[in-house]
Amino acid sequence: MAAAMRHRGPDDEGFLVKEPRAPSVALGMRRLSIIDIAGGRQPIWNETNDVAVILNGEIYNYRELRARLLRLGHTFATQSDTETIAHAWEEWEEECAQELRGMFAFAVLDLRGRLAQAPLLFLARDPLGIKPLYYTQTPEGFFFASEVRALLAAGFRRMR
């Protein structure tokens, strides 16, 4: 699925697979490196390695959010806008998307077990839908991507 989106992110790719705390979850992404080229590799984890984020897009107000989250006691390892989402999730959970300004689609994998007995996967996109988010639920599982071509590459057919 990530290979089908290589044109969208020729600079970098990242994967989260075979995570012992979430054995049935696999995340992949492609990115065009713009913000924090060296430190912004995804997925990005929080400081305790129990919240992971992948992002398609850009968070315009990440510097302001970062400063706010630092005042609230969060610790950052990068200058990436993606890491800001990980800490915003820790602070505000699903309301974190309301704090973000930009064009984005992202996934948060929360392994803390506070919100559910199993790992929690949360998806969001910008309110205007500038960055799309497509998904499908099948007997084999839940699949999502920011382009239909990635779902087609996984073997799903278009419905008419």
Write out the DSSP string of 33-78: --SSTTT--SSEE-TTS-EEEEEEEEETTHHHHHHHHHHTT---SS
Class level of CATH domain 3-153:
alpha beta
pTM, full prediction: 0.85
CB 95 within 8 A of CB 42: no
pLDDT for 160: 55
Q: What is the pLDDT of residues 5-22, one digit of tens each?
A: 666 655 666 767 888 888
Average pLDDT of span 85-99: 96
Per-domain residue ranges of the chain: 3-153
CB 49 within 8 A of CB 77: no
Q: What is the pLDDT of residues 29-70, one digit of tens each?
A: 765 555 555 666 779 999 999 999 999 889 999 999 999 999
C-alpha closest to that of 48 among 77, 82, 79: 77
Q: For residue 120, what are the CA distances in angstroms to 33, 52, 109, 142?
A: 27, 11, 6, 13
Q: Is 31 exposed, middle or buried (0-12, 13-18, 19+ CB in 10 A)?
A: buried
Which residue has better confidence, 152 or 77?
Answer: 77
pLDDT for 32: 56
